[in-house]
Structure 1
């Protein structure tokens, strides 16, 4: 089973919460940006709990069609609808005695939210097509990369369902707030790629590790894993340097790479070196700013005390796409 990995204080605090939550059966809501490892966190709770030997059933709520939510969760009786030749259990039945993990719970339609709320109120359900009322003993863990408070305020999510899901709560820290974990995870993913590919072991160069540590990682751990895979496949030698990293992911280190090369030559005058340093600062600042503002340029302009038009010009100058920072 894949396991959570990290040594930063923010990560250790979140994991300590997960371990405490494992020893009770209350509902848990896991919030965190895309790629922070919410399913891994849910599995951490499950496998540290007395339910560890029972099923862990993940459900991608965003992939369930609105009209099929009851059938997917509760199953159906024979003859419940056309082609229902046999009774079929739902995901709640599959999770019996174990854990039902509802990922992307914010994507449920209004109708599906009512269905889920009714089920969570007493853990009772009836398969489509009738039959006896059944009781579930599965533990429910939900996850979202959206802010449910904002979704409730906008009328997209039921407040009573939010309260029901939020008995216990944990927010997973984004990778940019996990000091020191980028290098640790990058080394781990590099070893994992080599093992999976059956290829030679490789290591990161110091310059590449510095570039990885300077990135804002809007896609978090998942983005780092993908970048590591591409860098491994692109690098010819056993050391992945900054040039290899730039080839694998050009948007990751353009300004930084140029500045490092410029700083090691005697060809640039003071003014040129200063200009390059400003470019590096602007690039990093804009990445962190847009991350805080979730890709909203107007909000970012307000946070930074900058005119929206000027901020837009800077974003265009540095080739930063705002859509990658949006969480919903």
Structure 2
């Protein structure tokens, strides 16, 4: 009886564990308005089984966005298959995508199921799709038209139920205008579209991400987390981050491993002007077209968000301690955290 009961629980528990692992794969950290708006789009995209095109600079989290769509969709229990189009030789593109039969070409000693078959029922993520050759673009367009494909060397056609998500760090529209990308393929891919915001436009998120990566790095490398000097957190907000989130992650990991437990200071990071670019002040542009009251409200909102992040970080995620540092009643302080969607758990192990 007990064994049967445990057996009945096995599959539900496996699904729960798999679901938790899936969430860890796509969870995007931040509380800036531009990121929250993007996450809202991704959630809406997940509800509709249509092709998605994701554009954005290198390091902005395009694959994370694709995983967010997949793991919030009805396909979440099936495969998410990522493919780097730039890494596939032109001569092998059809074989990699659609598979081949034994003897179809030299060295084809066995039948090979392609990536489309592997992703059947799930999601196929085509990263760097802007690097796909004309031959690959034609093959992909043909598949998108009716979901049918023919493995290399096969006599008949096969069908696959695949959700296609493509990503590019260059504008595909610009590539079309240059004659380097098919316009009919772009229209097929861009049924749903989102552009990932660069880190320099995600106000307040660099500090949140830095504390997250500090905790993550301490766990990964088996070392004690260290503090960020307040000047460093302020510098994180000013820096332009040309490498975006990936650059911040690598920077935090490196400084953690070299810190010897000492606080991380901005003087050690800034380097020369050639090495580090400071983000230009965009406040004048930000306030164009706003009334005095609207501009004032925006300034106060930005100040509150930055102040709350710094205070919660100094308190190590302890809301009561942070409220005391801020000189506010705990309940009122908690309402402010909720207003700006700041998760204290991101800072618990950061200090």
TM range (shorter): 0.7 to 0.9
Query: Match of 2:223?
Result: 199
Question: Structure 1 length normalisation: TM-score?
Answer: 0.75
Which digits, 9 at most, give the CA deviation of each residue in 1:182-239, with x for residues without a partner? 1000110111111100001112110111111110111110111111111112212342
Q: Is the Cα contact below 8 Å between 2:200 and 2:279 reproduced in 1? A: no
CA distance in 1: counterparts of 2:77 and 2:155, whole angstroms: 29
CA distance in 2: counterparts of 1:65 and 1:77, whole angstroms: 19
Match of 1:156 among 173, 176, 180: 180
Query: Match of 2:280?
Result: 285
Question: Structure 2 length normalisation: TM-score?
Answer: 0.71
Query: Match of 2:343?
Result: none
CA distance in 1: counterparts of 2:108 and 2:191, whole angstroms: 37
CA shift in 2, pair 1:87/1:249, >3 Å: farther
Match of 1:115 among 139, 153, 163: 139
Query: Match of 1:168?
Result: 192
Q: Is the Cα contact below 8 Å between 2:52 and 2:166 reproduced in 1? A: yes
Query: Match of 1:100?
Result: 124
Q: Is the Cα contact below 8 Å between 2:225 and 2:261 reproduced in 1? A: no
- Give 1:285 deviation, angstroms: 3.4
CA distance in 2: counterparts of 1:46 and 1:182, whole angstroms: 26
2:164 is paired with a residue whose SS is: strand
Query: Match of 1:301?
Result: none
Q: Is the Cα contact below 8 Å between 1:234 and 1:248 reproduced in 2? A: no
Stretches of structure 1 lacking an aligned partner (at least 5 in a row): 254-282, 288-328
Query: Match of 1:16?
Result: 40
After superposition, residues 233-312 of structure 1 pair within 5 angstroms as: 233-246=257-270, 251-252=275-276, 284-285=279-280
CA distance in 2: counterparts of 1:11 and 1:284, whole angstroms: 19
CA shift in 2, pair 1:284/1:172, >3 Å: closer
Report how many aligned residue pairs link the two structures: 259
Q: Is the Cα contact below 8 Å between 1:77 and 1:131 reproduced in 2? A: no
- Give 1:248 deviation, angstroms: 12
Which digits, 9 at most, give the CA deviation of each residue in 1:140-171, with x for residues without a partner? 00001101111111111111110010010111
Match of 2:250 among 226, 244, 249: 226
Match of 1:35 among 59, 78, 86: 59
Stretches of structure 2 lacking an aligned partner (at least 5 in a row): 1-23, 283-351
Cα RMSD between the aligned structures? 2.1
